[in-house]
Structure formats: structure tokens, C-alpha cells
Structure 1
Amino acid sequence: MKAIYNASGKKFVIVGANSGIGQALTHELLDCDATVFGIDIQKDSQIVTTPKYFYFKANPLEKNDLDDVFTKIDTQVDQINGLVNLSGTIKQFKAIESLTSSDWDETYDISFKSCFNACKVITPLLRNAQKAAIVNMASGLAFIGQKNYGPYSASKAAVVSFTKTLAAELAPAIRVNSVAPGAVNTNFIYKEDGGTRFDKDQYIKMVPLKSLARPEEISSVILFLLSESASHITGQCIHINGGAGMH
């Protein structure tokens, strides 16, 4: 994608950097001449580290892990211009009455608490930038009732509400927005046997634009929200779903 703004000298943190959307966003930010700090739970980065890309293995559910990363970043830079929280998972496809408390917590915590932890830890470096931005990953499932997605839907609804509260608390220095994609063609929608978690053909039929989203179609909106072009946008949730849900 052609860079939409000059991010030379700017620094960004991506939590969930190894995800499909995380990789797409990292490449776009590097194309904009930004410096990127990627965080994910896997040992190895899916993107080759460069003089402008640094990768840290950390579990965003563990605040101590993020504190350690913060300390390492803080020794390299005095400010961060943007934070993107992409963490999310669906561990169990069960009706709520069939879920155990641990089933619920596993999905809910990864999909929401990781966002909360990262915002708490990185906000001091964002404040140093004076004009900074946070973008949190919500989901279209936060806005509809879909069976067997209980803890994930609830966690992403929490992200939407959390984003609005944080936007009010951190303004005017830091803008905070969320994005709510529909189905995106990444590993997230596929099972271990290679099949999708839902009827992909049926889903595409109901989408007015007749396709799954590509990762770049989500990351480009995130990039816009991070940029000065979105300087008067905060507390909003941007839906990216090909028209599957019109809000």
C-alpha cells in the first residue's frame, strides 16, 4: 500500500504483531518510515527484524511481561506515537450454558484484558508524545448476537466501551479509537484441519461486497486512525465488514 503519511521519526507499538493484521500493519508503518516495536506471545517474529523493527516475546495477559518490555523500549526511545492492540482468540465454540468459568476466562482475558494491560503500561510513553493515538481491535461480533461466541463477543463489546472511556480520559493528548472487522482472511478464521470456523461461502453471499476482508483492508484503516489525517476522531468504533452490518 502507498504510504498515506510520513511517519519518519515516529514510533509505534503493536501488541499481536505476529497476527495477519499485525504483519500487514507493520509493513505499512515501515513503508511510512516509522519505527515499530512488535509484541506477541510467540518466541520468534514473523517479520524479519530490521533497524526499524524490534520484536519482543511477551504474554500481554501478564502485566509483568509488559512492564519488562516497557523498560526495554524506554531505554531506546523517550516517547511512543501510537499503540495498537490486536490480541484476541476464540478457544471454545460452545453455548454459554456449556461453558466453564475457565473456558470463559481464557477467551475473555486474552481478547480484553491484554488490551487493558497494554494501555496501562504504554500510556506514559504515549503521553510524552503529546499527540498520540491508540487503536484497539474490537469485532463485528460485539454488536450482534451470535450463538457459541459468548466470551469473545462480550470481550470485544468490552473493548468498544473501554475505548470510549479511555478516549474521554486521555483527551486531548491521546486519541483512542477501535475497529470492528467482519470476517478477515487470516489464520484466525481457520481450524487446525484447514476448514473455516463458519460457512465461508454462505457468509460471502450475505456480504454486499461479496468477499472476505484482506488483512491490508483492516490495517489501512488502523493506519489512518494512527495518522494526523484522523486528528479529530476519537472515541469511535469503525466498522469494516463489506456492508455485512451497516451501523
Structure 2
Amino acid sequence: MFELDDARVLITAGAAGIGRAIAERFRHVGARVWVTDVDEAAATEARGAGLRTTVSNAAAEDEVNALAAEVNAEWGGLDVLVNNAGIAGPTGPVETLESAAWLSTFDVNIHSQFYCIKHFLPLLRKSERPSIVNLSSAAGRLGMAGRSPYSASKWAVVGLTKTLAIELGPEGIRCNAICPGAVGGPRIDGVIAAKAEMLGTTVAEVTELYTGQSSLGKLADADDIGNMAVFLASAMASHVSGQAMAVDGNTEKLY
């Protein structure tokens, strides 16, 4: 059905969290999966679970270039690139933010995607079923008070995705984005805690806001994002490109 058996899939920041869920969903449908991560402990655990793993920083172009050469030497090409690396960035009114924190958010959330696409594109061109999946966010289509660098960087992901769908479409390379809402896990716990501190309220109150911001009234599960990534990379989405796919339980406002 998915026609991803033996597909060569690379996932950045794939050793834990949403990235790990994406990796496991691809592995479930028979793909060969290679994950990168800056977290050595998470990478070691993923390797122990049977995933091909490299400790590498997707926001460092020289490391991405070296990784692309390694993947090409071992696999001879790439079928699916999943740009998952991302950070929450700082929380606070825009005038209080440190410039270094702003730049760091863009380095990981959007510059890493540019580096990976730039250096893995020659490998994708060797594929008969090339696909790029970029992780954006519900914040990439909605404003989000107190999270300006995160939201701005995720809007940039959507712009990059739509532009590359136009640019690479004539070569048969599809490019789509996923826009998750709040996804349960340690990362959103940290975001909620920071937002509670900024607002001068409790974690419980902000948690209620986050779970209530979608029509379904709950946080997404990381597997929901993994399932969408598999769909977008699969033959079932062979005519889907340039789309920013929301996986957010119908979220219309972010807090």
C-alpha cells in the first residue's frame, strides 16, 4: 500500500521524541532508516534499538556535508529526507529576547533544513521516488504570542517547502511540510512551563489552555506525526506536493 519497502530514509533529530516516532513508523512499513541526532545518549539508545544512527548536528553545514557523503557511500542515494530537527527557542515578549537565542532558533529550525536539502539533493536525484518532508508547526500558520522566533522560523519552513515544490517538481521530487499542533512529551512540557512563567500563572492552567486549543481537546501523539510523514513519503501521496499538512486536531488559535 505505502510502497516504502526498502526505501532509504534519513531523519534528522531522529533518536528521540517526534523524530524517533517518525523513524519507527518508517521502519514499521519496511523502510531502511538512518537517523541523526546531537544527543549522544539518545543516539546510543536508538542504535541499541536497531536504528542506523550518526551523531551529527543538522545546523552545522560541514557536518551535514560529511553525513551526505557517508550516506551516499553506503546507500548510493536517498529516497526520503525528513527534516525534523527543531528547538522551541526562547519564550517572552519580543523586546526581551536575546539576539543569540533568536539566531539559534533559526539555525536549527530553518537553516538546518536548507543545509540538508542542499547537500542531500544530489542523492535524492538518484531515486525513483524522491520525497522531502519538512517539519513545521501549527505556529507556522498561526501567530503565537511570546514565541516569535519559533513561529517565524516555522513560517519560513512553509515558505521553503512551497518554493521547493515548485523548483523541484519538474524533476519529480515532491516536497511537503507537516504542521503539528501541541504534541505530548518532554518538549511541550518545557514549553508549557516557560509560558506559565511568562504569564505568571500555573503549569496546570497553561496545560489546560494547550489541550483546549484544538477542537479534539487533547494533545497529539508523536505517532500521529509519524503516520503523516509515512503517508507523505509514500505512493499514496504520489500527487501531493507543496502542502503544509496540519496534524493538530483542528487548532485555530495558539496560546
Match of 2:249 in 1: 242
Q: Deviations over 1:104-137 (max 9, x none)?
A: 1011211111111111111111010032100001
- Number of aligned positions between the proteins: 241
Structure 2 residues not aligned, in runs of 5+: 197-205
Distance 2:129 2:4 in 1: 13
TM-score by length of structure 2 reads: 0.88
Q: CA deviation at 1:88?
A: 1.2
Equivalent residues of 1:15, 1:86 under 8 A apart: yes
Kindly report which structure 2 residues correspond to 1:125-204, keeping only aligned pairs within 5 A, or say none: 125-172=123-170, 173-191=172-190, 195=193, 197=195, 199-204=206-211
State whether residues 189 and 197 of structure 1, in contact with CA within 8 Å, keep that contact through their aligned partners in structure 2: no
CA RMSD of aligned residues (A): 1.9
TM-fit CA distance, 1:49: 4.7
Match of 2:35 in 1: 38
- Paired position in structure 2 for 1:226: 233
Q: Percent identity?
A: 29
- 216, 230, 239: which is aligned to 2:223? 216
Report what 1:19 is aligned to.
16
Corresponding position of 1:113: 111
**Equivalent position SS for 1:75:** helix
1:85 aligned residue: 83
Aligned residue for 1:29? Answer: 26
Q: Which runs of 5+ in 1 are unaligned?
A: none
Task: Determine the C-alpha separation between the residues in 1 that align with 2:157 and 2:120.
Answer: 17
Is 1:68–2:66 an aligned residue pair? yes
Deviations 1:119-172 (A, max 9, x none): 111111101003210000111112222221111111000000000111111114
How far off is 1:196 after superposition?
7.2
Rate the CA distance shift 1:178–1:234 in 2: closer, same or farther, 3 A. same
Q: Judge conservation of contact 1:189–1:196 (CA < 8 Å) in 2.
A: no
Displacement of 1:83:
0.4
1:84 positional shift:
0.4
**Quick one: structure 1 residues 132 and 221, their matched pair in 2 at CA, closer, same or farther if it must change by over 3 Å?**
same
Q: Distance in 2 between matches of 1:47 and 1:185?
A: 20
Whether the 8 Å CA contact 1:178–1:238 is kept in 2: the answer is yes
The correspondence for 1:207, drawn from 214, 239, 246, is: 214
Q: What is the CA-CA distance between 1:27 and the residue it aligns to?
A: 1.1
Provide Cα deviations, 1:53-108, integer angstroms capped at 9, x if missing partner: 31011111111101111111111111211000111112311211112321210112
Q: Residue 48 of structure 1 corresponds to which residue in structure 2? A: 47
Cα shift at 1:185: 0.5
SS at match of 1:37: strand
Task: Please give the alpha-carbon distance, in whole angstroms, between the structure 1 residues aligned to 2:49 and 2:225.
Answer: 24
Return closer, same or farther for 1:206/1:72 CA change in 2, 3 Å cut-off: closer
Sort the Cα spacing of 1:78 and 1:241 in 2 relative to 1 into closer, same or farther, 3 A.
Answer: same
SS for the counterpart of 1:39 is strand
Higher helix proportion: 2
Alignment-mate amino acid for residue 8 of structure 2: K
Distance across 2 between alignment mates of 1:231 and 1:115 = 22
Change (3 A) 1:70 1:49: farther
Which residue of structure 2 aligns with residue 8 of structure 1? 5
Shift of 1:236: 0.6
In structure 2, the CA distance between the partners of 1:50 and 1:211, relative to structure 1 (3 Å rule), is: closer
What is the DSSP-based 3-state SS (H/G/I as helix, E as strand, rest coil) of the residue aligned with 2:53?
A: strand
